[in-house]
């Protein structure tokens, strides 16, 4: 029924606002402007970067996988989903990320773990929880919201680069009694910037026995 209604009344593209057939919230013309990184992205930053640029960075996660570059129409799509509560597009993005993880050959995880406090925005809509649910459906691995964030630290967007990279591990914690002995963990966030938050989360997970942490994001 939904597909039939879309044919009669095509949804609006989130970028150009024209009534057209859309995929991932964008019409074909606007989606064509998006730099889809996917499997071609750098394993350390998820972006298409100069070879070797990220080599000196000592990240604690094993690899990051991003759907697309966080700019242009894609930035607008992610913001619309997160701050506008667009559930239908959010579900599309979740399924796309799950398919990408499978295509990348990621080892089946023991658990899918959301970055704490990353996805909640519009009327308590949590895009990260939706993505985790889809990854759980795809892999059969449970979603475990075992990471927390202590109050007192300004949001990452309010800090300069130096501030983002310093001291974050003091604000990320694991629920008491959490163990991941020799386990693969899929860590889920919405947008990758410096990797500081992911590193702090990965460090906490590795400290309780995780073997490897793979980071999955909508944009980088």
Q: Which two tokens stand for residue 24?
A: 């991932």
Picking from 113, 132, 115, 117, the residue whose alpha carbon sits closest to that of residue 197 is 115
CB 186 within 8 A of CB 216: yes
* pTM of the predicted structure, to 2 decimals: 0.87
Q: Which two tokens stand for residue 22?
A: 């859309």
Per-residue pLDDT for 2 more than 60? no
Predicted confidence at residue 50, as pLDDT, reads: 72
CB 95 within 8 A of CB 118: no
**Candidates 3.60.21.10, 2.30.30.100, 3.40.50.2020, 3.10.20.740; CATH matching 37-219:** 3.40.50.2020
Predicted confidence at residue 46, as pLDDT, reads: 92
Per-residue pLDDT for 9 more than 80? no
Mean pLDDT across the chain: 87
- What residue spans define the domains of the chain? 1-33, 37-219
Tell me the angle at which helices 127-139 and 87-103 cross, rounded to the nearest 10 degrees: 40
Q: How many CB atoms lie within 10 A of CB 159?
A: 16
Angle at 133 between CA 130 and CA 134, to 5 degrees: 90
> Which pLDDT tens digit goes with each residue over 47-105?
988 765 676 667 899 999 999 999 999 999 999 998 888 889 999 999 999 999 999 99
For residues 212 and 198, give the distance between their C-alpha atoms in angstroms, rounded to a whole number: 13
Q: How many CB atoms lie within 10 A of CB 136?
A: 18
Give φ, ψ of 105 to 5 degrees: 75, 25
> Which pLDDT tens digit goes with each residue over 103-131?
999 999 999 999 997 656 656 788 999 99
């Amino acid at each position: 029924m939904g597909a039939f209604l879309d044919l009669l009344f095509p949804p609006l593209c989130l970028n150009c606002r024209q009534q057209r057939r859309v995929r991932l919230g964008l019409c074909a013309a606007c989606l064509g402007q998006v730099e889809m990184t996917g499997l071609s992205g750098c394993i350390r930053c998820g972006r298409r970067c100069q070879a070797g640029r990220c080599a000196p960075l000592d990240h604690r996660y094993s690899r990051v996988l991003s759907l697309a570059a966080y700019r242009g129409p894609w930035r607008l799509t992610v913001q619309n989903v997160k701050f506008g509560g667009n559930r239908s597009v959010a579900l599309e993005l979740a399924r796309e990320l799950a398919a990408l993880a499978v295509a990348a050959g990621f080892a089946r995880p023991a658990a899918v773990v959301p970055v704490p406090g990353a996805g909640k925005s519009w009327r308590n809509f949590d895009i990260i929880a939706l993505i985790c649910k889809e990854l759980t459906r795809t892999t059969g691995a449970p979603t475990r919201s075992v990471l927390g964030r202590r109050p007192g630290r300004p949001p990452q967007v309010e800090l300069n680069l130096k501030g983002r990279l310093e001291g974050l591990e003091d604000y990320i914690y694991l629920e008491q009694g959490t163990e991941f002995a020799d386990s693969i963990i899929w860590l889920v966030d919405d947008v990758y910037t410096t990797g500081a938050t992911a590193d702090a989360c990965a460090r906490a997970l590795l400290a309780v026995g995780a073997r490897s942490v793979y980071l999955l994001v909508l944009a980088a």
